């Protein structure tokens, strides 16, 4: 792995992510959006999510759904850093026999909950999973769903935002990566779309790990929570 140094437990650090990402080549179109999610996905896996690469199907795990399946390089790099997949799996991503495609397929990758790529699917599924946990009276696991600001164009998200708010799905957290991709923008701010449906919200610098972490771990009794993570404009 060249000049990379892994820690004693075999995990790689944030500083290694760049190297891990350079193992993946060939997805020029999506490479920029991949990096827009890097710090959020790293912070989630490093200090927010209760997930364990040795028990990816643990019923008590937090569920993370990358709804924005575009540009999954950062996601794959973090999964490799946290030992869900071997780092040498990254180098031939997108090839016929690789489990790693330009859009992820949950059936092929350990610890990946769903397959995404067509936009606007993750959040409705996340609402269903949260309701499932509620029916099972499992109050501890959280459901985290990452979407893009352009992905919010898809109406299915707004169906989900409304219902999650009305049902007070406290175990649900949505992270919106805001990099100015939405063609027609979101006048009044992205957070306001959620707030009007009763969600709690935080808008943070999507490159600041401490900010991201505190926004994602903030308590929000009785309501779902959205974190708008702002990064450089596309």
Total number of residues that touch another protein (CB under 8 A)? 29
Report the residue from 133, 216, 223, 228 that binds another protein according to the rule CB under 8 A. 133
CB burial of 56-91 (b: ≥16 within 10 Å; e: otherwise) equals eeeeebbbbbbbbbbbbbbbbbbbbbbbbbebebbe
16, 113, 149, 170: which one binds another protein (CB under 8 A): 113
Among 20, 126, 216, 223, contact with another protein (rule: CB under 8 A): 126
Alpha helix stretches (DSSP H) within 149-195 = 155-166, 190-195
Residue with smaller CB distance to another protein, 31 or 156:
156
Closest CA to 30 of 120, 117, 129, 149: 117
Residue 60 binds to another protein (criterion: CB under 8 A)? no
Point out which span in 14-22, 48-56, 113-121, 195-203 binds another protein (CB under 8 A).
113-121
C-alpha 53: how far from chain center: 16
Should residue 21 be labelled a site residue for another protein when binding is judged by CB under 8 A? no
Q: Cβ(180)–Cβ(15) under 8 Å?
A: no
Which of 156, 198, 207, 213 contacts another protein by CB under 8 A? 156
Measured distance between the N- and C-terminal CA atoms of the chain, rounded to whole angstroms: 31
- Provide, rounded to whole angstroms, the least separation between the CB of residue 4 and another protein: 34
Residues of this chain that bind another protein (CB under 8 A)? 105-107, 113-115, 118, 120-121, 123-136, 155-156, 159-160, 162-163
């Amino acid at each position: 792995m060249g000049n990379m140094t892994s820690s004693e437990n075999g995990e790689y650090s944030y500083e290694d992510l760049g190297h891990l990402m350079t193992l993946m080549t060939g997805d020029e179109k999506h490479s920029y959006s991949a990096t827009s999610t890097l710090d959020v996905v790293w912070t989630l896996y490093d200090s927010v999510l209760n997930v364990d690469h040795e028990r990816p199907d643990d019923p008590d795990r937090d569920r993370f759904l990358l709804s924005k399946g575009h540009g999954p390089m950062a996601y794959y790099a973090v999964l490799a850093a946290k030992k869900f997949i071997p780092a040498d799996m990254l180098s031939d991503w997108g090839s016929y026999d690789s489990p790693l495609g330009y859009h992820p397929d949950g059936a092929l990758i350990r610890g990946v909950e769903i397959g995404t790529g067509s936009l606007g699917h993750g959040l409705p599924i996340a609402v269903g999973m949260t309701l499932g946990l509620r029916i099972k009276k499992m109050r501890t696991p959280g459901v985290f769903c990452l979407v893009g600001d352009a992905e919010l164009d898809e109406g299915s998200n707004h169906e989900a935002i409304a219902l999650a708010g009305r049902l007070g799905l406290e175990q649900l957290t949505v992270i919106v990566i805001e990099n100015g991709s939405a063609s027609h923008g979101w006048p009044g701010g992205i957070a306001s779309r959620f707030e009007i449906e009763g969600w709690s919200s935080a808008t943070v610098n999507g490159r600041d790990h401490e900010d991201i972490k505190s926004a994602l771990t903030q308590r929000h009794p009785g309501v779902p929570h959205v974190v708008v993570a702002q990064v450089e404009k596309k």
